[in-house]
Chains A and B, each alone.
Chain A
């Protein structure tokens, strides 16, 4: 078989994988292709556990150690069949917390500690790099097998060259499908689908070679069993202790290996898939391990002595001239190696970028502002770089180790390395008391022990650890010998390392957790992780659109209302570039719908309703419609109630206001009557007293007699004036006043008013400031009434303006057909709190009788001005008291008959 054909086949196969992956990505992006998210694909993707090491190495392992290779399959089988509770919890936590890697999981659980993330990442890189190198080696080796078997060996001999191109190609593939975009869930349907295809290829290849060995080389199962018995070597004896250790180790590895965590937890889309995988994955392991021993036995018999049993799967068909079968076998091995490298480098790159590179980069550039766009680009670039780095490490490790025999053992060594994560991981899932400190100490101690007792010695003596250290222990301390730590010599190096590292790791973890006190965030995260199943509700993202827009629209309409529901759907459809009002049920649409609904019915209800409609339909759509309808009715009803109650409270407020007003009026009425009584009785008291004195007619002079008569006369006039005022006010208030409208010169009216008011406290001399021109204007109004108002204002000023040099400024202005006359004195003005009262009846500001009036003056003025179609107001802030009298230039009889709006006087009656 030509080497070029092999390369061509390889390239064709890789192109096929690219095609499968990109097709899967495309349909996933469009939200179709439910089969992509089927339990079958999930199970097949788990087979990334079976690397080239299992594909080729298992046969070699079997050839050397008999059935022991089975332990590598038994551990995972036990986990999936017996421990799937752990897996279920792991998967649920991983999905709900959007965990991106095992390092992220540990870091998140222990208070989002990046220290732990870094430790786990470094550990995984240490264990993973040789493992990747191993895959590169196996591919290079398999190429070489073909090359040496055929002619034209020149190019093929260069293994490093092959390994380099394989690494480069895998980096390209991983970058293309692993970092296409930055999905929050870190899911890569393209990669997973390609892995699933490869899983099928490697299974078929191994079964094909097995069938060939059993039925074509040997003569059937019976023959094979006989040959196995015949072959049985002394080393093939089962060692129970070692078996137990290896089963435990592989059981831990299936959970802790970064690539396994990636496919089991990170790429998982549904808890239910685990249920299928719990039997299907062990079945896969069973099938792939079924023919290992037969192939090994046939290989040992058929192949020349000294042939590497690790390559039996490939060399056996080649040796027997089955080129086609050999090619299939080659593709199987290629699949096993590439799938491992792709997933491992993806998982490791995620850890490296998330826990090491990005934090460092952010710290370095902490000062600068980053918008999210920059972050996305940054993270994607870092991710790509990390993939290249991880593969570079693998390649460099491969080149340096030179494909040594040490590499063959690296699979189990890596297992022990990642097993150090197990105590912290189990604590994360089941022990709320587990703390960050405990996890960090345990992980560190375990990792160091693994390094010292297994990883470093695995390079062989004098590579990293000198032979002296190996034999006499570090610093010559014999109890520090790497392979017999603390004097323990009974175990082989692997189990010895596993025992000590895991034991001390777990011990340190427990002690550390007991001793340290977890921070609040650790406790919160601990509760979140440990009690994950106690909390209701699945992950709040829509990964399983299984409903039709036709179902969702009526539901949305019942909640949002006919038109709003429909317009929301139409807008969403437009956003998707669709006509009409039925958008595709994409996760984005569902999130938008949930958000919209939650605005109406609350987040929980909205999510529950959508979950029921979209997810596993326990409740029928009809039932939900009824619920939705009810909710809408209740909401409408409650809205009505709310409106009614608001109306009621408005009415109650009005009633309260009216009642208050009535009470105020009643009080005012009492006060008014009391005032009238006082104002009437006071002059009558004088009149009665003096008239009785006069009637007595004794003991007084003529002057006295005359003076007393004068008092009686004056008080009678005062009484009359008071009665006049009261009647005047009553008439004015009821609009029954007869106005005598005619033309008059404003200046004359002001002159007359000043003259008339001069008699009040005549001894006070006022200085008047007037503007003649504006005053010289002809107005049409009831001149007598207007003069009465002016006189009242001027008289009040004479009474109340306390200035030693009293002044009065009269200014006239025209505004919008109205005349405004301002009377401003230079007194103290009226206090702010009294300004609202002065136009009320009997509102003398002081109770002093010196003012000589009953306190009705301004009340009458206001009524007069209202009757004249104008108003009188107090203008605050003018220095002294300032009254503004405004009235129309020409008062028409119609205007006069109307009281201005909003100037209702409080009727006492």
Chain B
């Protein structure tokens, strides 16, 4: 059974790149640009890994992470957070909220793949 990965990212080009490299390596990838909708989806059907952008319109990545950790079915969901801001404060905040892995944009594709492999398995 393929592992399912949900990508929440509002930059269409970045989410397209992620979808491409992850699908190519055998994961099933769903993409969402809207935090609210994504949370709803996850509660019904939790994915195996969440890749989350920090700067999102409406709900921020931190808000999404907080609500993921609040709900029983997604409490232990591995979350890989990506940020373009590259500030130490963001990393600290993400860790406080219970992020599993934190990466800075731009990333090397191999690193993302390794991290996903690590967190979700094949």
Contact = CB atoms under 8 A, between A and B. Distances in A.
A814 interface: no
Interface string A661-691: 0000000000000100110011111111110
A693 B11 contact: no
Interface in B68-122: 84-87, 104-110
A825 B44 CA distance: 42
A681 B104 CA distance: 9
A689 B24 CA distance: 14
Contact of B85 (A678, A683, A849): A678
A682 B24 contact: no
Given A681-B84, A693-B17, A688 B11 contact: no
A711 interface: yes
A681 B24 contact: no
Interface in A110-128: none
Interface string B1-17: 00000000011011011
A431 to B, nearest CB: 81
A470 to B, nearest CB: 112
Contacts of A693: 17, 20-21, 109
B49 interface: no
Nearest to A714: B13
A677 B109 CA distance: 20
A849 B13 contact: no
B13 A688 contact: no
Contact of B11 (A674, A700, A849): A849
A847 B109 contact: no
A692 B14 contact: no
B57 A685 contact: no
A684 B110 CA distance: 16
A740 interface: no
A368 interface: no
A180 B105 CA distance: 106
Contacts of B10: 848-849
B56 A677 contact: no
A848 B84 contact: no
A685 B10 CA distance: 13
B87 A690 contact: no
Interface in A696-719: 696, 699-700, 704, 711, 714-715
A849 B14 contact: no
B57 A849 contact: yes
A848 B57 contact: yes
Interface residues of B, number: 26
A678 B104 CA distance: 10
A677 B86 CA distance: 7
Nearest to A695: B109
Interface string B34-76: 0000000000000000000001111010000000000000000
A369 interface: no
B18 interface: yes
A711 B13 contact: yes
Contacts of B84: 677-678, 681-682, 685
A305 interface: no
A867 B65 CA distance: 46
B14 A685 contact: yes
B94 to A, nearest CB: 15
A685 B107 contact: yes
Contacts of B57: 846-850
B11 A681 contact: no
Contacts of A711: 13, 16
**Majority-rule SS of B interface residues:** loop
A685 B55 CA distance: 14
A690 B106 contact: no
Given A677-B84, A711-B16, A685 B106 contact: yes
A682 B17 contact: no
Interface size class of chain A, counting residues whose CB lies under 8 Å from the partner chain: 20 to 34
Interface in A821-874: 846-850
A686 B85 contact: no
Contacts of A688: 106-108
Given A677-B86, A681-B86, A686 B17 contact: yes
Given A674-B85, A847-B55, A689 B11 contact: no
B29 to A, nearest CB: 14
B89 to A, nearest CB: 9
B20 A682 contact: no
Nearest to A690: B17
B11 A682 contact: yes
Given A674-B87, A689-B21, A682 B105 contact: yes
Given A677-B85, A715-B13, A687 B20 contact: no
B86 A686 contact: no
Nearest to B86: A677
A521 to B, nearest CB: 71
Contacts of A685: 11, 14, 17, 84, 105-107
A773 B72 CA distance: 67
B66 to A, nearest CB: 17
Nearest to B105: A685
B13 A686 contact: yes
Contact of A689 (B58, B104, B107): B107
Contacts of B56: 847
B111 to A, nearest CB: 10
A557 to B, nearest CB: 69
B86 A682 contact: no
Contacts of A690: 13, 17
Contacts of A715: 13
B2 to A, nearest CB: 17
A698 to B, nearest CB: 8
Contacts of A848: 10, 57
Nearest to B56: A847
B14 A689 contact: yes
Nearest to A692: B109
Contact of B106 (A674, A681, A704): A681
Contacts of A681: 84-86, 104-106
Nearest to A679: B84
A677 B55 CA distance: 12
A686 B17 CA distance: 7
A686 B87 contact: no
A704 B16 CA distance: 11
A696 B21 CA distance: 10
B107 to A, nearest CB: 7
Contacts of A846: 57-58
Contacts of B107: 685, 688-689
Contacts of B13: 683, 686, 690, 711, 714-715
B39 to A, nearest CB: 17
A693 to B, nearest CB: 6
B86 A689 contact: no
B109 A684 contact: no
Nearest to B82: A685
Contacts of A686: 11, 13-14, 17
Contacts of B21: 689, 693
A172 B25 CA distance: 133
7 contacts: A686-B17, A687-B106, A688-B108, A689-B109, A690-B17, A692-B110, A849-B10
Given A678-B55, A692-B109, 16 more contacts: A681-B105, A682-B11, A684-B105, A685-B106, A685-B107, A686-B11, A686-B13, A688-B108, A689-B21, A690-B17, A692-B108, A693-B17, A711-B16, A848-B10, A848-B57, A849-B11
Interface of B: 10-11, 13-14, 16-18, 20-21, 24, 55-58, 60, 84-87, 104-110
